[in-house]
Amino acid sequence: MYELILAHIARHVTLDKQEQDAFCAALQHRKLRRRQYLLQEGDICRHDHFVIKGGLRQYEVDADGRENVMQFGFEDWWISDWYSMLTNTPTVYNIEALEDTEVLQIERIKLEQLFITMPKLERYMRIIMLNAFVALQRRVLFMQKPSAERYAEFLRRYAHVEQRVAQQHVASYLGITRETLSRLRSQMIKQRGEKL
């Protein structure tokens, strides 16, 4: 059960056996069925979640009732609302399972305790944050570009994700309507046909 997460950590820092055990002891295993929620708007987020199986989407519902997808979370990704966790305030996000999903979750408090005794774990989390930040920066830059380019970039970067989520969720992630995404797709298919 812990192979995935330990392997992920090992990619960034080296924990000895004892440290690995201490870390794993703090984890809780949690299963969700398709359409179940890991977190709902109004909850205070107290855990960080690492996906070991399945997939989730994190989205916000805005004043007009539109769903805006903040991010997806599939195997090997951390997903959570760090803002809510940091400030102990109710989250604006919903995190919903897109498939039957399993996560390992760790309480914020426990994680912070582990940071004190295990600086390497804090290093790991710093690096995770850094990577997440850099990925978001790229996304911000792409948000400035026309939707066709945004979709192309999404395919380049997350081809595997695209296979597994509904198109409307991809559209929402990209900040366009499902109609526009549908049209982009049919144009791309047509172009491919012409080139062959």
**Residue 167 contact, options DNA, its own copies, none, Cβ 5-8 Å cut-off depending on partner type:** DNA
Cβ nearer to its own copies, comparing 126 with 185 = 126
To the nearest whole angstrom, how small is the minimum distance from the Cβ of residue 174 to its own copies? 10
Of 192, 153, 191, 145, the residue nearest 170 (C-alpha): 153
Of 6, 13, 44, 51, the residue nearest 30 (C-alpha): 51
Is residue 36 part of the contact set for DNA (CB under 7 A)?
no
DSSP count for the chain of H helices, then E strands = 8, 8
Is residue 136 part of the contact set for its own copies (CB under 8 A)?
yes
Choose, by CB under 7 A, the member of 28, 126, 185, 191 that binds DNA.
185
Is residue 175 part of the contact set for DNA (CB under 7 A)?
yes
In our burial notation (b when 16+ CB lie closer than 10 A, e otherwise), range 145-179 reads: eebeebbebbeeebeebeeebeeebbbbbbebeee
Interacting residue ranges for its own copies, rule: CB under 8 A: 60, 62, 66, 68, 70, 82-83, 86, 115, 119, 122-123, 125-126, 129-134, 136-137, 139-141, 143-145, 175
